[in-house]
A = this chain, B = another copy of it.
Amino acid sequence: MKLEKSLTVDTINQNLLNIEYAVRGPIVQRAIQIERELEKGVPKPFDRVIRANIGDCHALGQKPITFIRQVLALASCPQLMSSPHVPQDVKERVQEILDDCTKGSVGSYSPSNGLRIVRSRVAQYISARDGIPAFPEDIWLGSGASDVIKAVLTMFIENVDGKPPAIMIPIPQYPLFSGTLSELGLRRANYYLDEENGWALQVDELERSWREASVESRVRAIVVINPGNPTGQVLTRSNIEEIVKFAYEHNLFIMADEVYQENIVCKPFYSFKKVMHEMGPPYSNMELASFVTCSKGWAAECGLRSGYVELVNLQPEVQRAYNTARAVMQCPTVLGQCILDCVMKPPSPGEPSYELFKKELSDVHQTLTERTNTAYETFNSIPGYFCNPIDGSMFAYPRISMPESAQLAAREVNMSPDEFYCLRLLEETGVCVVPGTGFGQLPGTFHFRTTILHPKDEFQHMMDAIRSFHINFLQMFS
């Protein structure tokens, strides 16, 4: 009898074995175990796990936006259209969307790039944001940004002049990028963000990264995450101009992860599209992919998988190829498309849903403002911690000075010092954050990423727990 499986660790796609995704990685798996242990009554020095590993706002207690949820309910079940409890503008919105669904059902396939009405609404949103035209034909909806980012990256899998393709990504970065590049077998060309200068992109560093990667690879595209994840900085207009010029010099495709553009405290947001357009030719003719998702912003509907990419200035044959690849997967979920419709055109003043929407929106903004300030101040008040100002996104990424003896202790158990630190933090306090190795960091520096959108009390409890853990940790390893 044969013992060998047909698919083994040796014969499986080896790229899959290289994927690391710390946001759902080993520390998070341990947190889940601990939650089960707590349920079974295993004694711990804390009574609950605080999940701060993933930007999952509803899971942290943020309330869904009522308008969105009412639209979803009626789009799913148009019989409820007669309900007196649902405002008229919700009913009108649902009717508009259902008119664009074949036979009025969200259960019919949509076009593979998404419903026409939703793509038009996205184009209107972008036009209003940038003050320049945008077109529904340049918009492709997807199952969250992850889905469309992967689809765009897939286009670059091709040797050019005999050299394997590489993609420039920031360090630190959101591990969707490193994970997807691993899966697709694309090489990474890392460029380091400048922590000492508010996580800015320095052109010298971009040039270094490009030059080193270009020895053995063909660099095809540059990924920029603005606002930053995990770093939370918002790029200045002049920094974006520098990046665009750099990309132009090296004929790079720009991939702008702009998913946190609605999660900004008090800085202006400049889209790559707007800056490139205003720079004029040749920059305004460059190829660009800009990604947005309903999992972030004020909607934060992570579980409902909705997002889009705007692809501008693509060669028509390239656009066609992208289109065909998308068509094989049929279409993004139509209820997800409904959410995007609401996000792109929320209730306006005078409409029945507006007052409640305005209040919900202001709660979301207020929480973000408070938490970014508190996180910044708290982390910088802990001895050995350094944290840049947090302009946006929903994370803090503090740097920790790690005592030499702690680094040695970590290596003895085959862990990186930041993993060692985060695992101990979890075991001793129940706080689950993600070690900096999952995002990348300058060698010899140590960080973790934490979400900051917990309810006020929970957040304060977490900050206190981190502080007293760290002080104990320093005592233990000094």
Contacts and interface: CB of A to CB of B under 8 A. Distances in A.
A396 interface: no
Given A19-B325, A21-B328, A144-B330, 17 more contacts: A6-B252, A6-B286, A7-B287, A8-B317, A12-B321, A54-B109, A64-B107, A72-B73, A72-B76, A73-B80, A101-B303, A107-B303, A109-B302, A143-B305, A143-B332, A295-B330, A305-B331
B251 A4 contact: yes
Contacts of A20: 324
B330 A333 contact: no
A329 interface: yes
A377 interface: no
24 contacts: A5-B314, A8-B315, A8-B318, A13-B156, A15-B157, A16-B322, A19-B321, A21-B327, A58-B102, A59-B108, A69-B77, A73-B73, A73-B80, A76-B335, A106-B303, A108-B302, A109-B303, A143-B305, A143-B329, A180-B328, A183-B325, A302-B330, A333-B336, A335-B335
Given A6-B251, A147-B329, A303-B108, A12 B76 contact: no
Interface string A135-173: 000000001101100100011111010000000000000
Interface in A1-40: 1-2, 4-9, 11-17, 19-21, 24
A282 interface: yes
A313 B7 CA distance: 10
A369 interface: no
Interface of A: 1-2, 4-9, 11-17, 19-21, 24, 54, 56-61, 64, 66, 69-70, 72-74, 76-77, 79-80, 83, 85, 101-103, 105-110, 112, 143-144, 146-147, 150, 154-158, 160, 175-176, 179-180, 183, 220-221, 248, 251-253, 281-282, 286-287, 295, 299-305, 313-315, 317-318, 321-322, 324-325, 327-336
B72 A318 contact: no
A28 to B, nearest CB: 10
A58 B102 CA distance: 8
As for how many copies of this chain the complex holds, the number is 2
Of A15, A21, A61, A286, which is in contact with the most chain B CB atoms at under 10 Å from its CB?
Answer: A21
Nearest to A9: B317
B330 A146 contact: yes
Contact of A157 (B13, B150, B221, B304): B13
A16 B251 contact: no
A213 to B, nearest CB: 15
A146 to B, nearest CB: 5
A23 B15 CA distance: 31
B318 A9 contact: yes
B6 A221 contact: yes
Contacts of A248: 2
Given A303-B101, A328-B183, A7 B143 contact: no
A62 to B, nearest CB: 9
A112 B109 CA distance: 24
Contacts of A329: 143-144, 146-147, 150
B77 A16 contact: no
Contact of A76 (B73, B105, B108): B73
Contact of A16 (B15, B83, B155, B282): B155
